[in-house]
């Protein structure tokens, strides 16, 4: 397993990070613990979760994923061996109305409340990386394109106040480092610039989508990763499982997109055609399509960790094994040809 330094910290994290959003919905607690045990046995020391999980979000499973991880940490008794990341949910409509009424603001009081609740569920005294799950402001995230300014921006929490709230939690020892998620280049640089000028915590990572179907991170954020030492934590590296090829011309029983077809971000006609070409490329070179897709993400110089997820042990073993796969120049060139033909079909 390769390890990378997390931003400007002294933490070394595995290039493969275990995502856990299925724990408590598609996976039971026992299955989640089995995944955690296997991941650690393969050298993974980086675990990512969120107060929002399990997915799809609902009141009944809110916080359950953190609870499952907490029981595992308590049972295992080796908290310091794990780099644990969690996220604070932001504002939204009906889909997060069960979390602080859907009107979360990233101010000091709410940050403290959210941190304390996550610590209780995780059964730990500290979180290594605490992330803002999506921006408080209206901007492009979760597949949205075309920026539109919101009418009520005067009610937004100033980023400086958010950083001060996070610093308070760092000083209290509840969190060690901070990160962003689903952020734009403007947002990332605002957090960095204010932190540097006001002696506040520096962002050490950005958890954004990145895959063969969505390489938009390269356009505005990759240079920030390089110049500001803020690495990417790539989520959805398989595009909700689409890049495995299992959804081509079929609907597998109990698969995520079969059960929840409204998660259609990676299933538009252009994405389906691009997926077909990537799967054909993998098979032509006798590669597993999922492993090729994950190996591509692993090869990016701006990557800190590739967040994988699975609902079965077979999937988990296969995904983790991709860390050993090195794509040849020929395969990478073929990938670029497909990308140029159908660029970012699922942003």
Q: Are 231 and 205 in contact (CB under 8 A)?
A: yes
> Each residue of 294-339: pLDDT tens digit?
999 999 999 999 999 999 999 999 999 999 999 999 999 999 999 9
Q: Is residue 254 part of a domain?
A: no
What pLDDT, in 10s, does the model give residues 60-118?
999 999 999 999 999 999 899 999 999 999 999 899 999 999 999 999 999 999 999 99
Domain count along the chain: 1
Burial annotation 85-114 (CB, 10 A radius, 16+ → b, else e):
bbbbbbbbeeebebbbeeebbbebebbbeb
Can you give the CATH number for the domain in which 178 is found? 3.20.20.100
In a domain, 310, yes or no: yes
d(CA 48, CA 86): 6
- pLDDT of 257 reads 78
Integer-rounded Cα Rg, in Å, for the chain is 19
Residue 297 lies in a domain: no
In a domain, 163, yes or no: yes
What Å distances lie between residue 234 and 207, 289, 296, CA to CA? 6, 18, 11
Is 294 a member of any domain? Answer: no
In a domain, 292, yes or no: no
Say which residues have a Cβ less than 8 Å from residue 321's Cβ, sequence separation at least 6: 291
Is 53 known to be catalytic? yes
Strands (E), the chain: 3-5, 12-14, 16-19, 46-48, 83-88, 127-132, 175-181, 203-209, 231-235, 303-308
pLDDT at 264: 78
Of 38, 53, 210, 235, which is the active-site residue?
53
Identify whether 169 is part of a domain.
yes
Could you tell me the residue range of the domain that residue 101 belongs to?
3-239+303-326
Question: Is 89 domain-assigned?
Answer: yes
* H-helix or E-strand spanning residue 39: helix 29-41
> Does the pTM of the predicted model rise above 0.85?
yes
pLDDT in tens, 12-45: 999 999 999 999 999 999 999 999 999 999 999 9
CA 185 to chain centre: 17
Going by C-alpha positions, the residue among 48, 76, 130, 32 that lies closest to residue 308 is: 48
SS3 48: strand
């Amino acid at each position: 397993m390769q390890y990378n330094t997390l931003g400007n910290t002294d933490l070394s994290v595995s290039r493969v990070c275990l995502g856990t959003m299925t724990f408590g919905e598609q996976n039971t607690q026992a299955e989640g613990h089995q995944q955690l045990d296997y991941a650690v046995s393969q050298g993974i020391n980086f675990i990512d979760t969120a107060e929002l999980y399990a997915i799809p979000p609902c009141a009944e499973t809110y916080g359950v994923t953190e609870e499952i991880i907490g029981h595992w940490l308590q049972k295992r008794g080796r908290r310091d061996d794990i780099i644990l990341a969690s996220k604070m949910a932001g504002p939204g409509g009906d889909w997060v109305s069960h979390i602080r009424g859907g009107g979360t603001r990233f101010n000091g009081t709410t940050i403290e409340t959210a941190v304390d609740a996550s610590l209780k569920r995780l059964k730990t005294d500290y979180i290594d990386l605490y992330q803002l799950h999506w921006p408080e402001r209206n901007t492009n995230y979760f597949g949205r394109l075309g920026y539109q300014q919101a009418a009520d921006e005067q009610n937004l929490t100033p980023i400086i106040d958010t950083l001060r709230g996070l610093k308070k939690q760092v000083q209290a020892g509840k969190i060690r480092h901070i990160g962003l998620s689903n952020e734009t280049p403007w947002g990332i640089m605002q957090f960095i610039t204010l932190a540097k000028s006001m002696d506040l915590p520096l962002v050490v990572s950005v958890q954004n989508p990145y895959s063969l179907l969505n390489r938009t991170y390269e356009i505005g954020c990759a240079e920030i990763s390089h110049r500001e030492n803020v690495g990417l934590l790539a989520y959805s590296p398989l595009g909700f499982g689409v890049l495995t090829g299992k959804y081509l011309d079929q609907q597998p029983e109990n698969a995520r997109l079969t059960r929840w077809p409204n998660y259609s971000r990676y299933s538009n006609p252009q994405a389906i055609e691009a997926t077909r070409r990537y799967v054909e490329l993998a098979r032509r070179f006798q590669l597993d399509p999922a492993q090729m897709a994950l190996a591509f993400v692993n090869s990016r110089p701006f990557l800190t960790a590739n967040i994988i997820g699975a609902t079965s042990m077979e999937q988990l073993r296969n995904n983790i094994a991709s860390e050993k796969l090195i794509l040849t120049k020929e395969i990478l060139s073929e990938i670029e040809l497909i990308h140029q033909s159908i660029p970012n079909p699922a942003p």
